Amino acid sequence: MKKLTTADVKVSRVMTKDLITVSLGSMVEEAVKKMVDFDVECLPVVDSKEILHGLLTFRDIVTKVIYSQVDVRKLKVEDIMAKDLVTCGLSCTVLDVVKIMKNKHLRRIPVVNTENKLMGLVTDFDLALLGWDFK
């Protein structure tokens, strides 16, 4: 039996699929509440068709709102989210994603289909768990 390597495993096998997202047009204050309530550091920003438009991270909030002393009650997620995203498709391998994350210094990469619909998210934590067999 052939041993699987990172070049054989598709990201769809390791990505997080049940994501907490925030809608385009939502207020940052609402997004922060969602991050706290669900204990997540990143929210994909999607429209009503689940098309990915950006990522909002805890770091975005700290650097663009708190550190800059901007009134969070006046900001929408698209005002501070990352918009020029590096994404991958379902056919990408774990090795592809690891290379991208290493070369671009990323901790997470959204997985999208050909229409840019959000399918999942691969994080450094997902990759750290690769190969572990949890019961």
Among 41-50, 65-74, 117-126, the range scoring the smallest mean pLDDT is 65-74
From 15, 26, 33, select the one nearest 97 (Cα to Cα): 15
Place of tokens 């699987």: 4
Q: What does the pLDDT read at residue 132?
A: 56
* Number of domains composing the chain: 1
CATH number for the domain harbouring residue 77: 3.10.580.10
Classify residue 5: in a domain, yes or no: no
Classify residue 134: in a domain, yes or no: no
What is the value of pTM for the model shown?
0.86
Q: What does the pLDDT read at residue 27?
A: 96
Give the residue with greater pLDDT, 127 vs 51.
51
| Owning domain of residue 88 | 11-128
